[in-house]
C-alpha cells in the first residue's frame, strides 16, 4: 500500500531531544551475516550475477524468512575496500535506511564484515531502464511509448521526493538509465546512492553546493514546495553494528519527526473549535484539521491534543512519538509530527476518514451501513498484519498493550491502521530468544476486558498479551460486546450471540477456521496462543473459504450447526 504523506519543516526542540535516542542506522538498518549471504548466492556463484559496475557486482539471492517464506533479493558485493569505496558504502547505507518511497529502491540491510562489504536490496525483476531501451534480452518486447512515459513519471516522483520530501534535500548526483530499475510491475525505482549528497534543509532557502573532489558544481533548484511521500516498507529485524555506529549520526527523532508550530495547529482547527472534534477520551481530544501548504494545497489531518501535562502524560506523549516516527507499515497509522509547547502537547496524524472499528460495530453513525462479514474479515486481517509487523518487523519487538476496536482505525479505502502507542513498550531484539518482560505494579496499562490474564496475575508482558487482546477483538467482531466477559463466554455458545446483521451470512467452513484461531488466541496459557503470523494466515484462509462459498452459493443463507463455548 502506498500512503500519502504531507511533510512539513521540522524545528528542533531541545526539551524533547534531551533524552538519549538511538542513531538512525542502529534503529532502521538490518545487518546480515556473511554466511547467510554466501548461502543465498551459492557462495557468490558467477551464475548468480545479474549486473556489475560502479561500486561492485550484483548477485541474485534467495533468503529464507522464519524458515518458511523465501524472499528474492539483490546483493551488491563491493569489489574493493579502499577508503573512498568504504566511504561510498557507508554513505549509501546512511541515506537509504532513512528514505521510504515507492519509487526508490528499498534497502533491506548490509553486511560489514572485515573481508566483505555487501548491501542487500529488494530484487528488481525487470532490470534497468537501460537494459530495456537497448533490448539486451531479445525475448523481451520493446517498451511502448506509454510504458516509457510511466517509467519517466515514476522516476520523476522519486527524484521529486529526494529534493523535497525529506528533512534535507538529497542530490542523487548520478541519474542515468542504469540507475532507474523496474520491479515486476514495471514500477520505476531510483537506485545507487553511493555518491549522493545531503543539501540544505528543505525549508531553508536553496543554495548551490560546491563539490571539491572533481572540481565541478551541482545546482539543483527546488521547483516545488509540496512534499508528497508514498511509504513502502518491508520490515526486518535489525541488529546493532559497532563499526558503522562510531560515526555521530543524528538521532531518530531529529531526522524522522517534524515539529509543528502551535499557531499553525490553532489555525487549522479554528482555534480548537469544539465543532472540529472527531474523537475524545478523558485524556485527550482529537480534532479534524486542515493544514495549508504554500497557500494552495490543503491536507486533512487528525490532531490529538492532551488535556493534562502531568509527568506521566508527557512520558506517554514522548513514548508515542519515539515509536511511531520509526515505524513504517501500511497497517500502522502515520505520524506526521508533533507540537511540544510549554502549554500544549499535540501529535498530528494522517486523517482516517472512516473512523474506528468500534464506531462501525456499534454504529455510532446510523447513516452508515453495517459492516458485511467479508469487510470485517478484511479489517481483522489488516490489523493482524500491523500487529505481526510490531512483533517481528522492527529491530526490537513492540508490545502494543491496548488492542481494542477503538485503536483500529479505517482510512478512506477501509484499510486498517493500528493507532495509539502511548502505552506501547519495546521488548527484546526480535532475533534474540524472546523473554517475558516484567512490568511494575503501577505500570498496568490497557482496557478492561482486553487485558491478558497473566498481566493481571503477575505483571508478565510478552507479545502473546497482544495476541490475547486481538482474540477479544475477533470475538467482538462477530458478537459485539455480548461475550467480552470471560464468565459469559464460558457459558454461552458464540453462535447464539452472533450480530443479527451477520445471521445467515457466514459460510460454515469459514466459521470453523475463524473460531479455531479466535479460541486459540484466547487461551489462558500464553504459550498455547499462536504467533500473529499464524493468525494472519488463518484469517486469510477464512476469507478465502468465504469467497469460495459465496461463488457457489448466490441466493441461500448459510446455517451454522456448531455450538462453540470458549473455555
C-alpha cell at 19: 533524552
Catalytic residues: 402
Q: 173-181 — which CB contacts under 8 Å span 24+ positions?
A: 173/197, 173/218, 176/130, 177/128, 177/129, 177/130, 177/133, 178/53, 178/128, 178/129, 178/130, 179/128, 180/128, 180/129, 180/130, 180/151, 180/155, 181/105, 181/124, 181/126, 181/127, 181/128, 181/129
Q: Dump the DSSP string for 373-398.
A: HHHHHHHHHHHHHHHHHHHHSSSEEE
Helices vs strands, H then E, count in the chain: 17, 22
CA 52 from centre of chain: 32
Name the DSSP letter for residue 104: B
Question: Which helix or strand (DSSP H or E) is residue 27 part of?
Answer: helix 24-28
Sequence-distant (6+) residues with CB within 8 A of 194 are: 54, 55, 88, 89, 91, 92
Q: Residue for cell digits 516522483?
A: 157
> Within 13 Å, how many C-alpha atoms sit on residue 475's CB side?
32
Reference 90, options 283, 252, 198, 243; nearest CA is 243
Amino acid at each position: 500500500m502506498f500512503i500519502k504523506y504531507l511533510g512539513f519543516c521540522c524545528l528542533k526542540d531541545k526539551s524533547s531531544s534531551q533524552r538519549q535516542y538511538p542513531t538512525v542506522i542502529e534503529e532502521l538498518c538490518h545487518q546480515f551475516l556473511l554466511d547467510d549471504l554466501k548461502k543465498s548466492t551459492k557462495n557468490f556463484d558467477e551464475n548468480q550475477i545479474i549486473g556489475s559496475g560502479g561500486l561492485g557486482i550484483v548477485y541474485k539471492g534467495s533468503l529464507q524468512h522464519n524458515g518458511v517464506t523465501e524472499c528474492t533479493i539483490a546483493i551488491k558485493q563491493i569489489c574493493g575496500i579502499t577508503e573512498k569505496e568504504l566511504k561510498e558504502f557507508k554513505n549509501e547505507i546512511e541515506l537509504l535506511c532513512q528514505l521510504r518511497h515507492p519509487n526508490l529502491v528499498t534497502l533491506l540491510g548490509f553486511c560489514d564484515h572485515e573481508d566483505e562489504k555487501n548491501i542487500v536490496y529488494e530484487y528488481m525483476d525487470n532490470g534497468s531502464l537501460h537494459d530495456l531501451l537497448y533490448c539486451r534480452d531479445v525475448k523481451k518486447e520493446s517498451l511502448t511509448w506509454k510504458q516509457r512515459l510511466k517509467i519517466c513519471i515514476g522516476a520523476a516522483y522519486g527524484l521529486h521526493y529526494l529534493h523535497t520530501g525529506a528533512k534535507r534535500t538529497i542530490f542523487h548526483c548520478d541519474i542515468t538509465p542504469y540507475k532507474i530499475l523496474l520491479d515486476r510491475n514495471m514500477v520505476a525505482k531510483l537506485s545507487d546512492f553511493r555518491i549522493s549528497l545531503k543539501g540544505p534543509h528543505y525549508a531553508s532557502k536553496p543554495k548551490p553546493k560546491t563539490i571539491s573532489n572533481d572540481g565541478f558544481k551541482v545546482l539543483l533548484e527546488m521547483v516545488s514546495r509540496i512534499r508528497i511521500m508514498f511509504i513502502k516498507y518491508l520490515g526486518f529485524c535489525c541488529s546493532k553494528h559497532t563499526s558503522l555506529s562510531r560515526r555521530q549520526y543524528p538521532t531518530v527523532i531529529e531526522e524522522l519527526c517534524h515539529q509543528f508550530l502551535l499557531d499553525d495547529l490553532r489555525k487549522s482547527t479554528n482555534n480548537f473549535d469544539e465543532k472540529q472534534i472527531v474523537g475524545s477520551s478523558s485524556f485527550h481530544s482529537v480534532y479534524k484539521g486542515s493544514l495549508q501548504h504554500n497557500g494552495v494545497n490543503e491536507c486533512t489531518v487528525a490532531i490529538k491534543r492532551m488535556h493534562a501535562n502531568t509527568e506521566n502524560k508527557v512520558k506517554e506523549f514522548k513514548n508515542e512519538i519515539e515509536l511511531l516516527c520509526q515505524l513504517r507499515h501500511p497497517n500502522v497509522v502515520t505520524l506526521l509530527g508533533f507540537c511540544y509547547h510549554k502549554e500544549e502537547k499535540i501529535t498530528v496524524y494522517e486523517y482516517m476518514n472512516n473512523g474506528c472499528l468500534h464506531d462501525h460495530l456499534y454504529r455510532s453513525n446510523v447513516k452508515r451501513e453495517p459492516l458485511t462479514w467479508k469487510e470485517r474479515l478484511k479489517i481483522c486481517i489488516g490489523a493482524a498484519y500491523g500487529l505481526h509487523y510490531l512483533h517481528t518487523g522492527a529491530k526490537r519487538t513492540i508490545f502494543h498493550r491496548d488492542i481494542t476496536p477503538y485503536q483500529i482505525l479505517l482510512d478512506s479505502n477501509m484499510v486498517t491502521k493500528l493507532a495509539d502507542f502511548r502505552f506501547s513498550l519495546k521488548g527484546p531484539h526480535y532475533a534474540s530468544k524472546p523473554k517475558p518482560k516484567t512490568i511494575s505494579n503501577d505500570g498496568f496499562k490497557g482496557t478492561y476486558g482486553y487485558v491478558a490474564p497473566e498481566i493481571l496475575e503477575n505483571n508478565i508482558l510478552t507479545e502473546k498479551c497482544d495476541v490475547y487482546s486481538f482474540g477479544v477483538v475477533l470475538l467482538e467482531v462477530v458478537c459485539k460486546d455480548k461475550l467480552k466477559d470471560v464468565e459469559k463466554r464460558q457459558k454461552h455458545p458464540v453462535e447464539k450471540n452472533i450480530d443479527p446483521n451477520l445471521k445467515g451470512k457466514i459460510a460454515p467452513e469459514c466459521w470453523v477456521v475463524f473460531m479455531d484461531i479466535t479460541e486459540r488466541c484466547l487461551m489462558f496459557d500464553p504459550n498455547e496462543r499462536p504467533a500473529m503470523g499464524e493468525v494472519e494466515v488463518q484469517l486469510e484462509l477464512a476469507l478465502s473459504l468465504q469467497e469460495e462459498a459465496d461463488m457457489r452459493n448466490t441466493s441461500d443463507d448459510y446455517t451454522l450447526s456448531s455450538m462453540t463455548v470458549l473455555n
